[in-house]
Amino acid sequence: MPQKGKNIYQRKDGRWEGRYIKGRTEAGKAVYGYVYAHTYEEVTKKRDEAADGVDPEKLKKNVPKKDSAEAVAIEWLYSLKPQIKQSTFCKYHTSIYCYIIPELGQKDINDISVMDLQNFCNNLFSTTNTRSKPLSSKTVSDTMSVMRRILHYAYIHGYQPACNGREIVIRKTAPDIVVLSASDQRILCKYLFEHKSHRNLGILICLFTGIRVGELCALKWEDVSLEKKNVYVHKTMQRLSNYATDGPRSYIEISTPKSKCSFRKIPLPDALIDYIQENYPDQHGYVLTSSEDKYLEPRTMQKHFRLIQQKCGLDPVKFHSLRHTFATRCVELDFDIKSLSEILGHATVNITLNRYVHPSMELKQQNMQKMSALMKDLSKIP
């Protein structure tokens, strides 16, 4: 959506979109209105007329009180901005503006009690006028983690908060992990081999290396060494919200992975190397497009994967299930867990064991059969 003028853009469908501020939320965040037209001149006129009709009182920003939780939270957030990745800033921004400020923003930071925080968490777990379903335990836990850091920031900057937030413990529930069965994986791979494309190759790479969708979308052919038989993961791609007053509402960022452990070289199976050499020789640019300038963003790749599953007649699973499936197949093949942990880019082996390793019932039965020999030996004891 190229920009022609301030807050005016041409859409992919050819129309022009104009954006103007029509008011502000209680937190002071801009609320935008949009107008559309077939020419730049028309949309400029419509935008200016719409902006002129806005009540000036609605544009006055509600400046938070100095000692309010809102003021301290915003101060903490922007004090961190130079030190953290943009993706982390966006995550904290969402927690503060979507959850903390609406519930606790008007309270004096010194007066927030344990009961206030408990009620805050209970409200997040319930539905409200703005949420049609409760938040997950992980989202609530992450939001409380931000709130604890805000309270600590307040304390070291001379405030006297009544609690530090550690009194509140959020019980996390593990999300349902879905893994492709061996038969479904066979059906999927058969389709991918028969319908060759760069996008389908990307799905195969995820199935046999366990890389994340963002890492796949940022992967370039120069990162794939068929001679050394490995792939170097050192970039990730994600769509982030744009909190600027102008420009598109979101943008694509290609940056370093989320942790040092995510920088890794993953050995490639010989069968995958042979397949790439035979079907994708002398490639350049991004792996999913073979272009230096054009890339495929994660949500487009996820949409493509859903379409492939429909064509294969499979029950739909998320793209991340390919990573779960890779880890599970590795365990079934008796991979060394430490090696698997490093291939997945985890900080500890425990993360691999607790989050991604899901033995199948067949494997459990095989392991339990190992007890048969012991039982037979014990039955011979006089």
pTM score, whole prediction: 0.75
Is residue 129 pLDDT above 70, yes or no? Answer: no
Averaged pLDDT for residues 300-320: 96
Query: pLDDT tens digits, residue range 242-294?
Result: 876 566 788 899 999 878 889 999 999 999 999 999 999 999 999 999 999 99
Is residue 207 pLDDT above 80, yes or no? Answer: yes
3-state secondary structure of 33: strand
Please state, in angstroms and as integers, the Cα–Cα distance from residue 210 to each residue in 11, 104, 237, 259, 342, following that order. Answer: 36, 41, 16, 16, 11
Contact criterion met (CB below 8 Å) for 95 and 144: no
Which among 65, 127, 129, 60 is positioned nearest to 101, based on CA atoms? 65
Domains of the chain: 3-59 (no CATH), 69-156 (1.10.150), 184-362 (1.10.443.10)
Please state, in angstroms and as integers, the Cα–Cα distance from residue 255 to each residue in 78, 85, 94, 244, following that order. Answer: 21, 9, 20, 20
Strand partners, 19: 34
Query: pLDDT tens digits, residue range 150-201?
Result: 999 999 999 999 999 999 988 877 677 789 999 999 999 999 999 999 999 9
Beta strands in 257-328 (DSSP E): 264-267
